[in-house]
Structure 1
Amino acid sequence: MFVRAVYATGDPARIEAAIRALNSEGRDLLADRPEYRGAGVFVDRDLGKLLAVSWWGSEAARRNSDQVMSERRGPMLEPFAGTVAVRNYEVAVFRSAQLPRTGGGLRCAWVEFDPADTDLFAETFRSSAVPRLEALPGFAQCALFVDRQRGRGMAGSLFVDRASMAASRTGQAAARRADSAKARVTVVGLEEFEVVHADVHPAYAP
């Protein structure tokens, strides 16, 4: 599985228009593309941040969808977005305990690592982080995205409500420190978002 992550920042007062566009026109455009596997939209309404992630069955399918989506992305995100960044990743790990809910929470850690350590990082996340996450109340899904060439990625955990996500912060901080040292990973950013929608089905897990 492969993903495209679109990260936009802008005026918080105008974020609702971007959400509506992504949830209507954006979802229709994605659903028409071959090997589309689902998508998620996550927001920070207070600061004006939006993360949209689309999932694809192959790297070629993701690449083939880029042209039509890049043409429509700007108009869909206007007038909200002041900055837009697009990154492509391989899905190294995906686990699902239950489907996420609208209004739930996403915590994501943006990471950097030696490209030679990609498989070590993925195995550490799979064997160490995933079992701890699965034991947390309110846990829904988790995933690890990696860019093997550039040595960067994102580790995300989804919770069914914001309270469960908040309650996990202390435990996850300790686990993140231990796992980062073991896998030789540097966390360069840590963020939390509200779940607008997330519809990747567990059957598509790699």
Structure 2
Amino acid sequence: MYVRTSEVRGDPAMLDEGLRLVREEIYPTVTAMDGCAGMSVLYDRDICRVVATTSWRSEDAMRASADAVRPLRERAERALGGTGGSEVHQWEVAVVHHDHPVPDGAWARLTWLTCDPGMIDHAIDLFRMAALPQIQEFDGFCGASLMVDRGAGRIVGTAAFDGLGGIEASRDMAADVRERIASEVDATVEGVEEMEVAFAHLHVPEMA
């Protein structure tokens, strides 16, 4: 499985209407495309940052959809009041674990890292064998995933929780896990974000 992420910053006053457009119009259009498995959207209300992720059954399907998806992404940017364009990235799905469905009111923590491309497989193994068993014990844990860009040495890990309480309660423990993994693979932590889940319908199977 592969995913494409589109990261947009916009106008907080336009967030709700932008999310409505994405949910009601763009989501059904994208998921009807050949090879698309689903879509999820996370957002930070305070700064109107939105991360939309679409899942694809093959790398070929993801790349073939690029031209068709572009005008939809531009429409979402306008609806959200974005001015600087999206950051778009394509990823291989390396690990996915589902504990239970993501409920309304869920939150997620995203961790962005970079490392030597030669360390990607080691990072995947560490996440699967060392990090995931700890993360799934956190209160309110729903599921987690790890996505990689092997060529660029980029990694993004996501852990979803039933609500903000699970995010808050796990911050210190998550930081310890993050620091150990980053140290082991000599990775740089580029950012950590805590975001609300607008909807989560990626439909990526278990890959733990």
Instruction: Tell me the TM-score normalized by structure 2.
Output: 0.95
Q: 1:53, CA displacement in angstroms?
A: 0.6
Q: 1:158, CA displacement in angstroms?
A: 0.5
The alignment covers a number of residue pairs equal to 205
Pick aligned residue for 1:106 from 105, 108, 111? 108
Q: 1:66, CA displacement in angstroms?
A: 1.3
Query: In 2, are the aligned partners of 1:43 and 1:196 still within 8 Å (CA)?
Result: yes
Q: 1:29, CA displacement in angstroms?
A: 1.3
Deviations 1:81-115 (A, max 9, x none): 12311100001111110111222111001110100
Secondary structure at the aligned position of 1:78 is classed as helix
Q: Structure 1 CA distance, aligned partners of 2:12 and 2:203?
A: 30
Query: In 2, are the aligned partners of 1:121 and 1:185 still within 8 Å (CA)?
Result: no
2:96 corresponds in structure 1 to: 94
Secondary structure at the aligned position of 1:117 is classed as helix
1:45 correspondence with 2:45: yes
Greater CA deviation, 188-197 or 77-86?
Answer: 77-86
Runs of 4+ more than 2 Å apart: none
Secondary structure at the aligned position of 1:189 is classed as strand
Query: In 1, are the aligned partners of 2:12 and 2:48 still within 8 Å (CA)?
Result: yes
Deviations 1:47-105 (A, max 9, x none): 11001011111101111111111022112221421231110000111111011122211
2:25 corresponds in structure 1 to: 25
Secondary structure at the aligned position of 1:30 is classed as helix
Q: Structure 2 CA distance, aligned partners of 1:75 and 1:182?
A: 41
Query: In 1, are the aligned partners of 2:31 and 2:39 still within 8 Å (CA)?
Result: no
The code of the aligned residue for 1:179 comes to I
Query: In 2, are the aligned partners of 1:33 and 1:65 still within 8 Å (CA)?
Result: yes
1:183 corresponds in structure 2 to: 185
Deviations 1:119-164 (A, max 9, x none): 0010001001100011111101111111000111211111011111
1:120 corresponds in structure 2 to: 122
Gaps of 5+ in 1: none
Q: Could you tell me the percent identity over the aligned residues? A: 29
Q: Structure 2 CA distance, aligned partners of 1:31 and 1:109?
A: 26
2:161 corresponds in structure 1 to: 159
Gaps of 5+ in 2: none
Q: 1:201, CA displacement in angstroms?
A: 3.4
The code of the aligned residue for 1:109 comes to T
Query: In 2, are the aligned partners of 1:21 and 1:77 still within 8 Å (CA)?
Result: no
Secondary structure at the aligned position of 1:123 is classed as helix
Q: 1:37, CA displacement in angstroms?
A: 1.5
Secondary structure at the aligned position of 2:65 is classed as helix
Q: 1:184, CA displacement in angstroms?
A: 2.1
The code of the aligned residue for 1:82 comes to T
The code of the aligned residue for 1:191 comes to E
Instruction: Tell me the TM-score normalized by structure 1.
Output: 0.95
C-alpha RMSD of matched pairs (Å)? 1.2
Q: Structure 2 CA distance, aligned partners of 1:11 and 1:60?
A: 34
